[in-house]
Amino acid sequence: MCGIFGYVGKQQNAAEFVLSGLKLLEYRGYDSWGIALKISNSKSQISNSRQNRDSKFITEKHIGKIGNAQLSSNDLRSNLAIGHTRWATHGGVIVENAHPHLDCKKEIAVIHNGIIENYARIKEGLLKKGHKFVSETDTEIIPHLIEEFLKKEGFASAVRDAFNQLKGLNAIVVANSLSRQIIAAKTGSPLVIGKGNEGFFVASDATGIIKHTRKLLFLKDREMVILGDDVELLTLPSGKKKILRFEQIDWKIEDVEKGKFDHFMLKEIYEQPKVVRNIAENYTSQIKELKKLIDKAKGTFLIGAGTAFHACLAGSYFFSKIANIHINTTVASEFNYLEDFLNSKSLIIALSQSGETIDVIEPLNHAKEKGSKIIAITNALGSTIYRMADYKLLLGAGPEKAVASTKAYIAKVALLLMLSYAVAGKVNRAKKLLLDASREIDILLSKKNILKIKKIASIINSSEHLYTIGRGTSFSTALESALKIKEVSYLHTEGLAGGELKHGPIALISKGTPCVVFAPQDETFDAIISNATEIKSRGGLIIGVGPKKSPIFDYWIKIKDVSEAQIIPHVVFAQILAYYLSVERGHDPDKPRNLAKSVTVK
């Protein structure tokens, strides 16, 4: 959930490395941030920092987003530093709760992602031994616990023994000012190690590291790595040495920079035609392999959380309509309660942009215990879900830094559409439809259409509520559109199946209430227009999306009919609307309040 970054090496600008790394990772959490470093120049000081004359580490912590922040001193020569940008779990958003946290001697600094389920018991024991705590966090027990173990053993053993006592899904990065080492360990939450010319880097995902190196080691669960003059990989809980295998990834630094765009969300929206074309042109062989697995399975299930679940729901419609087979789907966090019937012949298709979503990982663990096969469709090479799957399919969408997913969602939908047609033996039909959909996105992103959408955003900006409706595959479009709009603009938006209006929600319609109506030229058209008429007759403002204009529409966004692929440009319209609503309302669409990119805690 939180952003983690650390550096140890030969260069003396560790503070600069860590600060710039945190800025790249801020989408993972932005309640507060902080840095701890061992300075090489003893005359350097940081104002407003927590330090005393005997400190080995100095820290600087702040509340809120990093933005364009700089450290309080420009003279910070250091070759060892760690930093953290926080999404709060334990303890409020105050300076004292910001990471890193130190031991009593200020020789051990710790940053942490996850929740320590047994922290209260451990803290009670440490308090009895005289340790002093300054925060409300569960994280602060870690440096003090390591400090206790250091009284009788070395640094690596102390970190290993401390981590072995923690219950829950956690990733920790520990720096030692005396040994000039960083140790990282994980169970559940992600950590990535980078090996570059300047030294070693550690981060919560690859986005923070590729500025320096593309040689990466993705830590597995129950692994620990020691970084200093060299690198050593150990298994937990035993501490047995393991063979190191760094991977080369093909991302570029341009992929994680905004370039000419004001926000990452807008940049990622504009990248979607390329993402869809890439899938249409390059995924046939991989899709055909997955088709074989579905053919063999006795029960196939799609699971995902949030946006990924909406892609799953669209997929269930695709498989029914295109391939004439039933694919089950449910919200991943509920799958634990619906998996009693799984067996060795079951197939689970798990969708996750980050590959670290705890609500997906937990039911997958249970499914594996029953012998079920798992397909991972994710955007993150080496992620937990990627590694635990029997078969993997990377989205190929490139880094996605805006918290609200856009291009990763479109990639999931495109792959599921292609897979549905492959099961039906018509994969070439899918390729054509995806290329047509890609062209429709290009048209939607034309200056003329952007101005039209910006005008709609301006008109509905002052509304108290917004509704999105659809039928068939457009029901999933309505749900995803509502999620995008409310998560970045904070305008209450509710996505509905058109037929459900008369079963209660229509009571909320009053004069001027805006409603987006997804009206593709398919079997749902007449029924959804009838639903729109019901809303119009009660004073609603109708925004129609589809190839055919209806007199009932107050505003119309024309999108050419591209058959089952119509869901793709239709959702892109909603993404653009959500973006401009957010900007119109004065919000940051990249970093919506209370949200983080990767949900790694329950």
pLDDT tens, 180-229?
A: 999 999 987 889 999 998 899 999 888 888 888 989 999 988 999 999 99
160 & 263 share domain: no
Residue 247 confidence (pLDDT): 84
The owner of tokens 């295998």 is 245
Same domain membership, residue 439 and residue 543? no
Whether residue 326 is found in the same domain as residue 248: no
Reported as a single tens digit per residue, the pLDDT across 99-120 is 999 999 999 999 999 889 999 9
Task: Kindly state whether residues 167 and 127 are assigned to the same domain.
Answer: yes
Per-residue confidence at 564, pLDDT binned at 50, 70, 90?
very high
Q: Is residue 74 over pLDDT 80?
A: no
pLDDT at 46 over 70: no
Share the mean pLDDT of the chain. Answer: 91
Q: The pTM is what?
A: 0.80
pLDDT of residue 53: 41
Return the pLDDT at 251: 67
Q: Are residues 415 and 306 in the same domain?
A: yes
Per-residue confidence (pLDDT) for residue 259, from 0 to 100 = 80
Looking at the structure, tell me whether residues 245 and 293 fall in a common domain: no
The reply to whether 320 falls in a domain is: yes
Residues 328 and 382 in one domain: yes
Q: Are residues 420 and 463 in the same domain?
A: no
Residues 152 and 272 in one domain: no
Among 2, 56, 65, 591, which one carries the catalytic annotation?
2
Domain boundary among 232, 256, 280: 256
**2 catalytic per annotation:** yes
- The distance of Cα 73 from the centroid of its chain, to the nearest Å, equals 33
Which CATH number characterizes residue 21's domain? 3.60.20.10
Inform me whether the pLDDT recorded for 54 exceeds 50. Answer: no
Q: Specify if 597 maps to a domain.
A: no
How far is it, in rounded angstroms, from Cα 513 to Cα 176? 59
At residue 496, the pLDDT reads 96
Can you tell me the mean pLDDT for 442-462? 96
Q: State whether residue 363 is helix, strand or coil.
A: helix
Q: Report residue 270's pLDDT band, with 50, 70 and 90 as the boundaries.
A: very high
- Indicate whether 304 pLDDT > 50: yes
In Å, the largest CA–CA distance within the chain is 80
Does 15 lie in the same domain as 117? yes
Mean of pLDDT values over 21-29? 81
Whether residue 190 lies inside any domain: the answer is: yes
Where is the domain boundary, 205, 223, 256? 256
The catalytic residue among 267, 407, 486, 597 is: 597
- Beta carbons of 33 and 22 less than 8 angstroms apart: yes
pLDDT, one tens digit per residue, over 502-541 is 899 888 899 999 999 999 999 999 999 999 999 999 999 9
Rounded average pLDDT over 385-402: 91
Does any domain span residue 80? yes
How large a percentage of the chain has pLDDT more than 90?
73
Domain boundary residue, one of 396, 415, 445: 445
Based on the domain organization, do 407 and 281 belong to the same domain? yes
Please state, in angstroms and rounded to a whole number, the distance separating the CA atoms of residues 471 and 489: 25
Is residue 596 a part of any domain in this protein? no
Number of domains forming the structure of the chain = 3
Q: Domain check: are 465 and 428 in the same one? A: no
Q: Is residue 601 part of a domain?
A: no
**Which of the listed ranges 81-90, 142-151, 359-368 does the model predict with the highest average pLDDT?**
142-151
Q: What is the 3-state secondary structure (H, E, C) of 223-292?
A: EEEEECCCEEEEECCCCCEECCCCEECCCCHHHHCCCCCCCHHHHHHHCHHHHHHHHHHHCHHHHHHHHH
Mean pLDDT of 16-29: 84
Q: What is the CATH number of the domain that holds 275?
A: 3.40.50.10490
> Is position 598 within any domain?
no
Q: Residue 167 catalytic?
A: no
- Is residue 361 in some structural domain? yes
**What is the residue range of 300's domain?**
258-445
- When pLDDT is cut at 50, 70 and 90, the band that residue 43 belongs to is very low
